[in-house]
Each structure stands twice: as structure tokens, then as C-alpha cells.
Structure 1
Amino acid sequence: MSNGRHLAKGSPMPDVPEDGILRLYSMRFCPFAQRVHLVLDAKQIPYHSIYINLTDKPEWLLDKNPQGKVPALEIVREPGPPVLTESLLICEYLDEQYPLRPLYPRDPLKKVQDKLLIERFGAVLGAFFKASDGRELARRGTEFFGGEQTGILDYMIWPLTLWLERMKRDPAVMAFYMEAEVQAEFLRTRSLGRANYNLLVKDA
């Protein structure tokens, strides 16, 4: 496995034990890959993490996913073995294949409604996290989004911050959570053309 280090071009395929455990090809700062980590951890499903440098990908990644994207989940117990891609499809598969601690509602109508909300909120939540991590306030140079006093954006975002704080207490989130400053530092290095994928590796 990659032991938290992101593997790049020229890196050999990691020596993963032949133990039948799922293999997740991931990137530590990718929100779509984070979805899959959260579901695996919430359902306490054993898995191996193999982190990929998406700027300079190892050649063997295309054997796992011809699109060269993450997340990609290799189901080693099945003939082939098959590799699933697309975070929402992976998460739905995991919820159905591992029924303990169900995450989707079992009622078909409620399940479809939740899936629709996930699709609709994807872009909205991305904007929310961008706003809530301090970068947008820093760009505006004001104490509030509305300026020197609260405005509509402040009031619309604030209820979500309460939910965000509650989510930080969830065991799966706690195991994978990173401070906004860390995420911002990764984005800064990427914007400079030298993305530091191993920012969280102590000896990087």
C-alpha cells in the first residue's frame, strides 16, 4: 500500500496483501474519493487505501481505471476483479453489499429522494465549503460576507455551519477530517503547479 504517500509516475504497483480485502484507489484531497472513505469507515468495512498523485499518475493506474480517475474501488474477491468508479455508484454498491449500518433509506421512495438531494446539493455544498473555510472572507477582506455587517449570504450559510460542527463528531468524519487550512494549503500548492499530494505525510 502507499502508507499515505501518493504514488506517482514510475512508482511500482504497491505490494498489497492478497487477503480479499477491498482496494480503494484514492487521493487524500479529492472530495469524491472522500465520500467513499466516509462510507467505508461508517460501515466499518475493511479496505486498503492506495493514494494516487493525479498530476503525475503511475502508469498502472490505467489498468485499474482506463479513465485514470479516482475514486476507483477494486473488488478483489470477484473474478476479474471488477473495478467500480464514480463515487455515488461506489457508495450505493457498498450500502447494498454490506447491509449492516444502512446509510440509504430502505424505503424506495425515500432512497430516490435522498439521491436527488445529493445530486442537487453537490454544487451548492461545494460553494458552501469554499465560503465557510475562510478563503472567501479573506478575498473580500471583510468580517462578514455582507461586509462590515451581516448580509443575506451570512444568514443563509450560518445554519449549515451548525450541521458541519455536528458532523465533525461522527466517528467516520473524525477519522478522515482535515482542517480547512490544510485543504487550502493543498489548493495553494496546486495553483502554483506543484501540488503537494503528500502534505499529510509526516516525512514528506
Structure 2
Amino acid sequence: MSNNHPDANIHPEATGPAKATAKAHFAPCDLQFYSGWFCPFAQRVWIALEEKGIQYQYIEVNPYHKPKSLLDLNPRGLVPTLKWKDKPVYESSVLIQFLEEAYPHHSPKLMPEDPYLRWKVRVWTDFITTRIVPGFVRFLGAQDEKLLEEQREEFLGHLKEIAKAMDPEGPFFLGRDFGAVDVMLAPWAMRFWAFDHFKKGGLGVPDKGKGGEDEEVWERWRKWVEAVKERRSVKETMSEREHYLPVYQRYADDKAQSQLAKALRAGKAVP
């Protein structure tokens, strides 16, 4: 892809805590993890690898340059992509379950054993893919005040819906244990600051004690967010905010050229 692509000139490597984590996994390894430090989809897999203590080689790529080594594994040139036993494995929502099955002796388990809870995890990971992720992009990209308010209200409705589905005590989605739904949603929640930075009125989650009739739901959401923010695997796969700013500025201006942004702009589903 041409270097003129607006997203091609992002900062070339992870910074802050994520830089140290990437450096710790620089050495060659049987499992290779092709990632982009800025990508929330890639961060899902990175969190899962760190949680489970799986040995891997971190390979930073710019998917807008699409190096041959990545294209040889994944013709679409997307991150995250794993090279496992010389085979390509990709798609972040599927990779979480793949790691569970490929490394069954690594703990903690991110998928529950109980069939009902496994069903619940699958339902809500699909909800994140089909509601929260596109809602994030549409909300951040809204350009006029009326549309901004509409998208904010819809997005907050999605957050309330998933908060209502959480275990009442928590702090994580299914309770005390960090799991697949938390992994899927955490990278997006860690980027919610973008609404406060770029959009008038910000994210709109009410402050503690100001949620009205929905205060109990919002308090459960706040509890989840605080627990996720303090999770080591989440913190140590985040880069410094200053380097995310130009990436999300393009989303806020509705000019991002990622496959996700272009698909949603065209009225299509998450690719």
C-alpha cells in the first residue's frame, strides 16, 4: 500500500508499558504474533497471550504497508495474525477461543466450562462485535450536533445493556475471574477517553451518584471499567496516549481509512 495512505505514518512501534512488553517478547519463538500497537483488535489477542502466559514472538507491523511476511500468512494483511505451527490463524474474536483450545494447560481459562456460561460468553462477544464496536466508530465519527446526540444515546444504551448482563458482584463480566468477554471489550473501553477528548459532551456516562433511575446499572459499569483498567495484562499492552491521538483524530473527523471505518461508512457490517 502507498505511503500516502493517511494511516501509514503512525508511530512505528509501541511506547510506554506496551514497549516493555513487546521487548520482552522480541526473541524468536514457535508462536509468532503479528500485531499493531495501536489496534484494539490486536490488543485483544495480546491481552489473552499475557493472561495465559503463552510464549510468543511479538512482531510489530504497519498493516497499511502490508509487509510480505504478513501477506504470506494473511492475504488481507490484517492484524492480529498468528503463525502457529507454520499455519496462519486470524480474526480476533475467534483467536481468543483458539488460544484456549491450542494451549489447554495454560491458565487462567478465559472460557468457562459451564455450557450455559459459554453460551452467554458467545452471545455477548457477538454483541460487542455487532453493537459496541460499530457504535464506537459511528459515535466518534458523528459530525453534526444532532447526529452526535443520537449516536451518543444509542452507544450509552449498548453499554447499559451489557452492564445489565454482568454478574451482579463482579468485578468482571462473569464475576471474580477475568474472561473472554472482558478481553473482547477492554481495548475499546481503554479508548473511551477519545470521546471526552474529541467530542462535545464527551462519552456521557454519568458521574457516580448521578445516574438517576439507572444509577445501579451505571455503578456496575463503573466497577467493571475500574477493574479492567487495573488489570496488568491490559495496562501492559497499552501505549502512551499521545501516539493514539492522531489515529483517533481521523476517526473523530470521519476520515479514517481503516477497513472497519470504510465498511461502516458504507453502511456495511464490521469486516
1:165: Cα distance to partner? 1.3
Could you say if the C-alpha distance between residues 106 and 130 of structure 1 is closer, same or farther in structure 2, counting changes exceeding 3 Å? closer
| Of 157, 167, 175, the match for 2:236 | 175
- Cα distance in 1 for residues equivalent to 2:196 and 2:234: 24
Could you say if the C-alpha distance between residues 62 and 185 of structure 1 is closer, same or farther in structure 2, counting changes exceeding 3 Å? same
Whether the 8 Å CA contact 2:195–2:202 is kept in 1: the answer is no
Whether the 8 Å CA contact 1:137–1:143 is kept in 2: the answer is no
1:30: Cα distance to partner? 1.1
Q: 2:78 corresponds to which residue?
A: 69
| Counterpart AA for 2:35 | S
- Compute the TM-score of the two structures, normalised by the length of structure 1: 0.68
Q: 1:43 corresponds to which residue?
A: 52
List aligned pairs for 1:118-157, cutoff 5 A: 118-122=125-129, 123-124=131-132, 126=136, 127=155, 129=189, 132-136=192-196, 138-141=198-201
1:114: Cα distance to partner? 0.6
Q: 1:112 corresponds to which residue?
A: 119
Most deviating of 164-173 and 118-127: 118-127
Q: Are residues 1:29 and 2:35 paired?
A: no
- Structure 2 residues not aligned, in runs of 5+: 1-10, 14-25, 137-154, 160-188, 259-271
Q: Are residues 1:82 and 2:115 paired?
A: no
2:249 alignment partner, SS class:
helix
Could you say if the C-alpha distance between residues 110 and 63 of structure 1 is closer, same or farther in structure 2, counting changes exceeding 3 Å? same
Could you say if the C-alpha distance between residues 174 and 136 of structure 1 is closer, same or farther in structure 2, counting changes exceeding 3 Å? closer
Whether the 8 Å CA contact 1:24–1:47 is kept in 2: the answer is yes
1:25 alignment partner, SS class:
strand
- Compute the TM-score of the two structures, normalised by the length of structure 2: 0.53
1:54: Cα distance to partner? 2.0
- Using CA pairs below 8 Å that are at least 6 residues apart, which structure has the higher relative contact order? 2
Q: How many residues align?
A: 174
1:162: Cα distance to partner? 2.6
Q: 1:60 corresponds to which residue?
A: 69
- Structure 1 residues not aligned, in runs of 5+: 7-15, 196-204
Could you say if the C-alpha distance between residues 182 and 165 of structure 1 is closer, same or farther in structure 2, counting changes exceeding 3 Å? farther
Could you say if the C-alpha distance between residues 110 and 151 of structure 1 is closer, same or farther in structure 2, counting changes exceeding 3 Å? closer
Could you say if the C-alpha distance between residues 180 and 19 of structure 1 is closer, same or farther in structure 2, counting changes exceeding 3 Å? closer
Q: 1:9 corresponds to which residue?
A: none
Structure with greater helix share of residues: 2
Q: 1:186 corresponds to which residue?
A: 247
Could you say if the C-alpha distance between residues 170 and 193 of structure 1 is closer, same or farther in structure 2, counting changes exceeding 3 Å? closer
